[in-house]
Structure 1
């Protein structure tokens, strides 16, 4: 019978400079920090310059690994001292555990391949962090050399059973894609304020339209939209524009899940439709009877109380659409980002523009680095569609068909 697993939680502490640091705790977020893990987070995770969400993800993965070690009565220090690291069977079991969702009632039987890899690599990184000082304290040179040899064999063994990350090369891999033409038409119709099919309450229609249209027309990420401040939007110039600004550890952001742009900052122009939607929302936002606390902070989008909207509140907007319209069952905020890239590739194809120049422009619009391969990742559906058009044209020219 496996020992009862200790539950772990994550508590975020805010440092004086505004930086938020995730700490693994026993039981609930108010519990005591788990011994050793805070030092690991500071010396290994924080030192790498990981973004807040990535660091939190790895702290969560660390808790997952500690539960596995506890369930198998694995004492990492004792194992290192005896040169007896995890066996092949234990590593296979660890890899399997890394694929399991944290909640038993999760809708998916396994987590994504990439997240399973993050969990597994974090577990190995923690084992290395624990083992290295133990080995360095061995005074006998032969014993220390033997321990290092055993450790290298362990790492080599561990790599053979690691969950495989999903690559970007496959075109038939179950990744998210954009909307179909029918889904796109329905989406743009039912989100309009006053439309008979709009699933949102009259109070929220103007806000939700601005949120969803921003995601659709700019392909912006959730954190970028939630992190928008009023000073980032200029609707009074000849060309309305919006500025996406990365603000890590922003002191203005009091949310439990702070909004942070994972991409580069950029200035984006707004068409008349989006500018009108944003302007209507900014006027509505000033109503203190409707949005009581909205005047207390600079963020554009707010929840029902007027506080800056949380990630959960943003997701609920999309979940409401999915619940009312089954044909939009695949919709999520990131699908709209994929859809923007699909439409971009279609536009470039139809206008016959310079593909290299268009890719650089796409990278700028999405906030990717100039060397990023993300245009290929996000534009797969449009690329496949364009390729198949040419394949059919090539087949039509085959002598057999003439």
Structure 2
């Protein structure tokens, strides 16, 4: 039976809270091969739902393109004929297109996204082809040619897409950081947020400034806050597949569960939000989450979503003087790591001491070198000082001669 296209993905929520990207055909029935692949090959990777959905969206595009080209995927794979060069070219072109084009956006996705889509489709084809190859007798003279054809598929389909890594991304400079901290302060003239949410947003942004990833504060519950301790901190959990989470895109933490220490004044601001402002959100007592949306359903309050946080970033970029166009979650997180570097230098810690503490505070493995990618501004400034010192020494040496 040929399943009618177009294929599309829908979110399936299991009783355990797990989100599954279900591929459905045009008749709204589940599509056999994509769902079998997602269940066996993708789900076991324990990846986030958004990543799973991205993989399966690419596979849906592949199926839909093949249907337009009158390609019977099952027949091509069973015969091990696979795909011709002109067909590969069309599949590549379609996978480069944005599925939703917003005003001002390019019609094409970025190189990294395109390569990820092509890789997802390549892996899917290989997964479906491998069992067919296994059925070919080792005595069959076609076997060597078939294996060669499959081995060449990544080169033909994915190709050599150059994905440039931006090694110049840094944390905020001093002026930007001042503008940021003022803009998140309630009642400040540059604060772009609705007064209703300014205290909530300040508490949220101070946690980002303390080094938390974008999703981390959205997973926090009351038991993760330790604000009245002599050394206040929040405990960032590693939450996955929370059955109580009603959000379509569940926030998930990539790092290990870890504590993040707070200064007493910042802990006081967050505590003030919890005591004085959070209870004003509709149904707050019914929710375990720290950060709530001002929108509520008829049955329960809604926790703040990743989409809402992304909108906050857009507001800061668009409305606050001094906030650059590239301002985003990682810029705030990099600023935190720059401050850690500067503080470690001031305390005269050894590199090993700094590495261990930064990794613990960030949820990274003990010997991780990730911090070096986040401390580019601090390291660049130290490099500048070293270069100037060396030049001064060289100049002085010539004068002495």
Contact 1:11 1:22 in 2 (8 A): yes
Contact 1:95 1:162 in 2 (8 A): no
Structure 1 unaligned residues grouped into runs of 5+: none
Contact 2:261 2:361 in 1 (8 A): no
Partner of 1:126: 124
Contact 1:135 1:147 in 2 (8 A): no
1:33 aligns with 2:30: yes
Contact 1:22 1:55 in 2 (8 A): yes
Contact 1:80 1:147 in 2 (8 A): no
> 2:288 is matched with which residue: 298, 302, 307?
298
Structure 2 unaligned residues grouped into runs of 5+: 296-300
Find the aligned partners of 1:380 and 1:16 in 2 and give their Cα distance: 44
1:231 aligns with 2:223: yes
User: Per the alignment, do residues 229 and 143 of structure 1 end up closer, same or farther by CA in structure 2, a change over 3 Å counting?
Assistant: farther
Q: CA-to-partner distance for each residue in 1:8-34, whole Å, 9 max, x for gaps?
A: 54322222322221212346xx94333
Find the aligned partners of 1:257 and 1:131 in 2 and give their Cα distance: 32
User: Per the alignment, do residues 20 and 204 of structure 1 end up closer, same or farther by CA in structure 2, a change over 3 Å counting?
Assistant: same
User: Per the alignment, do residues 39 and 275 of structure 1 end up closer, same or farther by CA in structure 2, a change over 3 Å counting?
Assistant: same
Contact 1:342 1:380 in 2 (8 A): yes
1:367 aligns with 2:363: yes
More off after superposition, 241-250 vs 196-205: 196-205
Report how far residue 379 of structure 1 moved: 2.1
> 1:279 is matched with which residue: 271, 278, 284?
271
> 1:347 is matched with which residue: 343, 347, 350?
343
Report how far residue 160 of structure 1 moved: 7.2
Find the aligned partners of 2:154 and 2:326 in 1 and give their Cα distance: 40
Partner of 1:17: 16
Q: CA-to-partner distance for each residue in 1:38-83, whole Å, 9 max, x for gaps?
A: 1100110012232333323322332333344345444333333444
Partner of 1:319: 314
Report how far residue 108 of structure 1 moved: 4.5
Find the aligned partners of 2:110 and 2:338 in 1 and give their Cα distance: 23
Report how far residue 93 of structure 1 moved: 5.2
Find the aligned partners of 1:97 and 1:373 in 2 and give their Cα distance: 38
Equivalences for 1:41-60 in 2 at 5 Å?
41-60=38-57
Contact 2:17 2:245 in 1 (8 A): no
1:382 aligns with 2:374: no
Equivalences for 1:235-250 in 2 at 5 Å?
235-250=227-242
Partner of 1:192: 185
Equivalences for 1:82-101 in 2 at 5 Å?
82-87=79-84, 90-91=87-88, 94-101=91-98
Find the aligned partners of 2:367 and 2:70 in 1 and give their Cα distance: 46
> How many residues align structurally?
388
Contact 2:225 2:234 in 1 (8 A): yes
Find the aligned partners of 2:334 and 2:96 in 1 and give their Cα distance: 25
Q: CA-to-partner distance for each residue in 1:327-382, whole Å, 9 max, x for gaps?
A: 31322223211221233233334544212321222222111223433212222233
Partner of 2:298: none
Find the aligned partners of 2:237 and 2:346 in 1 and give their Cα distance: 32
Find the aligned partners of 1:285 and 1:8 in 2 and give their Cα distance: 45
Other structure's SS at 1:161 match? coil
Q: CA-to-partner distance for each residue in 1:199-249, whole Å, 9 max, x for gaps?
A: 222211110110111101x21112111101111102232222210001111
Contact 2:203 2:273 in 1 (8 A): yes
Partner of 2:66: 69
Report how far residue 256 of structure 1 moved: 0.8
TM-score by length of structure 1 reads 0.86
Find the aligned partners of 1:24 and 1:326 in 2 and give their Cα distance: 45
1:149 aligns with 2:165: no
TM-score by length of structure 2 reads 0.86
User: Per the alignment, do residues 341 and 196 of structure 1 end up closer, same or farther by CA in structure 2, a change over 3 Å counting?
Assistant: same
Report how far residue 109 of structure 1 moved: 5.5
Contact 1:247 1:261 in 2 (8 A): yes
Other structure's SS at 2:23 match? strand
Find the aligned partners of 1:32 and 1:151 in 2 and give their Cα distance: 33
| Root-mean-square deviation over aligned CA pairs | 2.8
